[in-house]
Amino acid sequence: MKKSSTFLFVITAVICLFSSCSKAQESAQNKAELSKDKNIFIVYFSRTKNTKAVAEIIHKNVGGALLELELQKPYPEDYKAIVSQVANENETGFLPPLKTKITNIEKFDIVFVGFPTWGMQLPPPMKSFLKEYNLEGKMVIPFNTNAGYGIGSSFQTVKELCPKSIVLEGFSVKGGIERDGILFVMEGEKEKQVQVEIQNWLKKIKMVN
């Protein structure tokens, strides 16, 4: 009888031990997932809010921190005026100063960078960000909206400005056509379609299961 009681006690102790280990592993896994979320940074520049919408969809899928770049001196509202100004900035290499300041960039391991295509190039404000902040050793993932002409040289410029980063395959989608007065389009069926495309892309680059 005494032997039976001792055996039962040992079995119970072993079961409790494994149960505790399982809960501890589960807790550690959850903490790791939360930690991973904190290591993701999504930064974007958006004029007509299409790139902002894409950034928010990515954020819903991968979590992390989300931030919009703002300039010390905003671009003019007039389309022709901004086209002329950006063309001059690209020609002279001028980098517009950012109003946005990031004090903890070093804690992020994965940085999504989002922007529209301007003049078939990377917008000067995103160049300012990539020049100002050190992304060495980080995983950089570009995403883009455009008027139907594609990414131009923008993704290549991201690679050139992040020579010591791991730059993954980017995502691009047609947004509005500001020249024709077609501004925000990421709504209704278009938004649903883009959500699916983004999820497929995130799976392809192994950012989600």
pLDDT digit string (tens) for the chain, length 209 residues:
444 444 434 344 433 334 443 444 433 333 334 334 459 999 999 999 999 999 999 999 999 999 999 999 999 999 999 999 999 999 999 999 999 999 999 999 999 999 999 999 999 999 999 999 999 999 999 999 999 999 999 999 999 999 999 999 999 999 999 999 999 999 999 999 999 999 999 999 999 99
The reported pLDDT for the residue numbered 32 is 34
Alpha-carbon distance of 76 to 73, in angstroms, equals 9
Could you tell me the end-to-end alpha-carbon distance of the chain, in angstroms, rounded to an integer? 53
Domains, the chain, in order of start with CATH, read 40-204 (3.40.50.360)
Judge whether 144 and 117 are in contact, CB under 8 Å: yes
The reported pLDDT for the residue numbered 114 is 98
The reported pLDDT for the residue numbered 38 is 53
| Three-state DSSP state, 204 | helix
